[in-house]
Copies of this chain bind each other. A is one copy, B any other.
Amino acid sequence: MNTYTDFFKALSDETRLRILHLLVVSKSELCVCEFTDILETPTYNVSKHLKILKNAGLINERKEGRWVYFGLTPVKGRFLELLFEAIKEIPAQQLKTDLNELQKRFDIRIEGKCLLGIQKEHLKNH
């Protein structure tokens, strides 16, 4: 039961909902610096939100050199299947904008990998 309220709690924050939406729609893994640029939120913030989504069991982590990629967990059960479908259907302008920004990040990937890091200076840790 707690599992399910935790799913909803994880999605009850705008930043985290945007993160999950990006993952559901793109069907890809994204790395922390890509999220940072797309969401326009400092890295430490993105990192914390990703941790919450991970602890809720919604996303997985994969390390590759200095980069950490996050993707959806494999869907087991009809509940998550429907929940992800629902998220895909949210008709919010913000989410469309996010997808545009995601495309920009995909365009600067090199052989499918995120190698360029954060592009927006003001979002980096100093």
Give residues in A with beta carbon < 8 Å to B: 1-2, 4-6, 8-9, 11-14, 17, 77-79, 82-83, 85-86, 89-95
When A78-B89, A79-B90 are in contact, do A2 and B14 touch as well, CB less than 8 Å? yes
The CA of A42 and the CA of B122, in the complex, are separated in Å by 50
* One of B1, B11, B77, B92 near A8 (C-beta < 8 A): B11
In contact, A89 and B94 (Cβ under 8 angstroms)? no
The CA of A89 and the CA of B94, in the complex, are separated in Å by 29
The CA of A9 and the CA of B83, in the complex, are separated in Å by 14
* Complex: chain B residue closest to A94, CB-CB: B1
The CA of A107 and the CA of B125, in the complex, are separated in Å by 62
Query: 18 interchain pairs (CB within 8 A)?
Result: A1-B14, A1-B17, A1-B92, A4-B17, A4-B92, A5-B14, A5-B17, A6-B12, A12-B12, A77-B91, A78-B86, A79-B90, A82-B83, A82-B85, A82-B86, A82-B89, A83-B86, A86-B86
The CA of A9 and the CA of B16, in the complex, are separated in Å by 12
